[in-house]
């Protein structure tokens, strides 16, 4: 059956505050006594210049070195060659972002890659998700790849390991993180690109000369002396990865080079990685493929994949929308919408370490039920088999699970699966007594994104929270029809 899927999540309102506060760091200050100053980069500048408005410099690296810790760097519109922002030893103690932004309303085209090897760098573009979907190339447009990588010296003591790099609202053909810490890609557009191996003529003919096998790659880096540089605390938030194509008849060494595994994200190793609020569209073989191929020396722990939309993969011989193998240490796959193929998630040797909860997907991958802990998932294929008694197959219903709380707010999480707009009735019980009601009328379909709602119980002075029960039911919007049977979950505060 055809089902429109709707996600609604009830949680803390604190997340919206964090987003507002983050933007305040981008302000430029001028005048006497200012702690920040603006440096200028221009296509007609020179790196012999001091990077001022009257004497701009040419490269991002020169501007970074000219700017103080926490400075602002304005990039004039125009076309630039490939850029690499290297580490600056004079900023070793800097704990404030130096921010690169295009001039107001400007368009900056980098004809090559943009590599960040320094710490506390923010690349702040101007593109929106709507721009990316419409194919509008605005702000920072990187024709090659954009990413963050450690500079490995001959010994580990000579390494430069990027720490705290933030890349937001940019365009690029591909992205990567290799051996860095505290890296965030937020609201970036990655794609379209043609998947080519090195030496293939299709790279020159179809891909602006650049060889992109996958749209995004995350892996550790091993120094010549054997020191491992893992990616630690990486976040992909609101990233749009799309339109990765393999073209067999344009490969110079067909079929060998065209047998490459072309994924929107390929992840080799990591230490704490979060992929959230992101959209995968028209990927070739898989939306994301997680495997420990960096060797036994590389970390592979702490993976959170939450609230993403995984569209159908396009290549006829494609595999799965999501494949996580050997990920046995703290893997969470929750509140995602998967369209098209199945998923393979978990590790049979430690199934309790992988949580698969609250997702909408065609069915569980082969053998996946025994490789993870499954709860509250909705399978859209009529012949799918549930992995847990809380899973539902091919029939709209409500799932409710407890969530974490903050302060005096009682936070709960629920998911509604429906084929049309619905009215949602939420009831909170304490023991046998109703202590709260929330009615959400005419809730529209909302595929692959959460809604935030919060409820605060009324407490008499000196009283503490106790055990609550949260129940949710739905009815067709505005129909006056009887609400469905309630789905309930206990919440203890």
State how far the alpha carbon of 335 is from the alpha carbons of 6, 138, 309, 403, in Å: 11, 31, 9, 13
8 A C-beta contact, residue 244 and residue 262: yes
Token digits of residue 99: 């921010």
From 111-120, 272-281, 362-371, 458-467, the region with the lowest mean pLDDT = 458-467
Q: What is the pLDDT of residues 328-361, one digit of tens each?
A: 778 899 888 888 777 888 777 788 888 898 787 8
Contact partners, residue 300, CB within 8 Å, separation at least 6: 269, 270, 292, 326, 327, 329
The pLDDT of residue 299: 79
Sheet containing 5-8: order of strands: 5-8, 412-417, 398-402
Burial class (CB in 10 A: 0-12, 13-18, 19+), 96: middle
Of the candidates 441, 478, 471, the one whose C-alpha atom is nearest the C-alpha of residue 455 is 471
Phi and psi torsions of 207, nearest 5°: -130, 30
Residue-wise DSSP of 215-232:
SEEEE-EE-TTS-EE--E
Q: Which residue has the higher pLDDT, 459 or 165?
A: 165
Token digits of residue 224: 């010549």
Q: In this model, does residue 457 exceed pLDDT 80?
A: no
Q: In this model, does residue 390 exceed pLDDT 80?
A: no
Topology classification of domain 412-492: Immunoglobulin-like (2.60.40)
Q: Return the percentage of the chain with pLDDT > 70, whole number.
A: 71
CATH numeric code, 5-396:
2.160.20
CA distance 485 to 493: 25
Q: What is the pLDDT of residues 60-87, one digit of tens each?
A: 999 999 999 999 999 999 999 999 999 9
Q: What is the pLDDT of residues 4-38, one digit of tens each?
A: 222 222 222 222 222 222 222 323 333 333 334 67
Q: What is the mean pLDDT of the chain?
A: 77
Parallel, antiparallel or unpaired: strands 270-276 and 300-306? parallel
CA distance 17 to 249: 51
Of the candidates 142, 210, 141, 147, the one whose C-alpha atom is nearest the C-alpha of residue 176 is 147
State how far the alpha carbon of 67 is from the alpha carbons of 139, 144, 460, in Å: 21, 26, 55
Q: Return the percentage of the chain with pLDDT > 90, whole number.
A: 30
The residue extents of the domains of the chain are: 5-396, 412-492
């Amino acid at each position: 059956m055809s089902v429109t899927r709707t996600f609604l999540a009830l949680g803390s309102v604190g997340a919206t505050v964090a987003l507002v506060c983050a933007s305040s760091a981008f302000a430029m200050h001028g005048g006497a006594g200012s702690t920040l100053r603006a440096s200028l980069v221009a296509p007609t500048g020179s790196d012999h210049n001091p990077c001022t408005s009257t004497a701009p410099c040419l490269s991002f690296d020169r501007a970074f070195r000219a700017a103080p810790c926490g400075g602002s760097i304005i990039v004039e519109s125009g076309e630039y060659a490939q850029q690499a922002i290297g580490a600056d030893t004079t900023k070793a103690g800097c704990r404030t972002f130096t921010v690169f932004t295009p001039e107001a309303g400007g368009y900056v085209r980098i004809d090559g890659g943009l590599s960040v090897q320094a710490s506390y760098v923010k690349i702040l573009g101007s593109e929106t998700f709507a721009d990316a979907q419409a194919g509008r190339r605005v702000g920072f447009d990187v024709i090659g790849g954009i990413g963050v990588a450690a500079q490995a010296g001959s010994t580990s003591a000579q390494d430069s390991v990027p720490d705290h790099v933030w890349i937001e609202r940019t365009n690029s053909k591909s992205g990567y993180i290799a051996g860095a810490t505290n890296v965030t890609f937020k609201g970036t557009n990655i794609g379209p690109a043609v998947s080519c191996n090195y030496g293939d003529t299709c790279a020159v003919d179809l891909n602006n000369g650049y060889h992109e096998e996958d749209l995004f790659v995350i892996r550790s880096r091993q120094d010549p002396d054997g020191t491992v540089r893992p990616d630690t605390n990486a976040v992909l938030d609101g990233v749009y990865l799309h339109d990765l194509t393999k073209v067999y008849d344009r490969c110079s060494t067909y079929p060998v080079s065209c047998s490459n595994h072309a994924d929107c994200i390929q992840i080799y190793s990591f230490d704490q990685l979060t992929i959230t609020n992101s959209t995968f569209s028209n990927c070739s073989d898989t939306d994301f493929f997680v495997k420990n191929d960096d060797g036994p020396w590389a970390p592979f722990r702490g993976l959170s994949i939450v609230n993403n939309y995984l569209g159908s993969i396009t290549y006829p011989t494609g595999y799965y929308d999501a494949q996580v193998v050997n990920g046995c240490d703290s893997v969470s796959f929750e509140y995602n919408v998967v369209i098209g193929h199945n998923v393979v998630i978990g590790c049979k040797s430690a199934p309790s370490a992988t949580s698969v909860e609250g997702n909408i997907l065609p069915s569980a991958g082969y053998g996946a039920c025994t490789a993870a802990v499954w709860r509250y998932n909705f399978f859209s294929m009529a012949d799918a088999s549930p992995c847990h008694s809380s899973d539902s197959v091919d029939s709209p219903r409500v799932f409710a699970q407890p969530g974490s709380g903050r302060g005096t707010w009682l936070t709960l999480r629920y998911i509604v699966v429906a084929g049309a707009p619905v009215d949602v009735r939420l009831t909170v019980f304490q023991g046998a007594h109703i202590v709260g009601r929330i009615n959400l009328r005419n809730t529209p379909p909302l595929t692959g994104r959460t809604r935030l709602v919060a409820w605060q119980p009324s407490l008499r002075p000196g009283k503490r929270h106790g055990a609550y029960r949260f129940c949710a039911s739905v009815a067709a919007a505005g129909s006056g029809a009887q609400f469905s049977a309630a789905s309930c979950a206990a919440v203890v505060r």
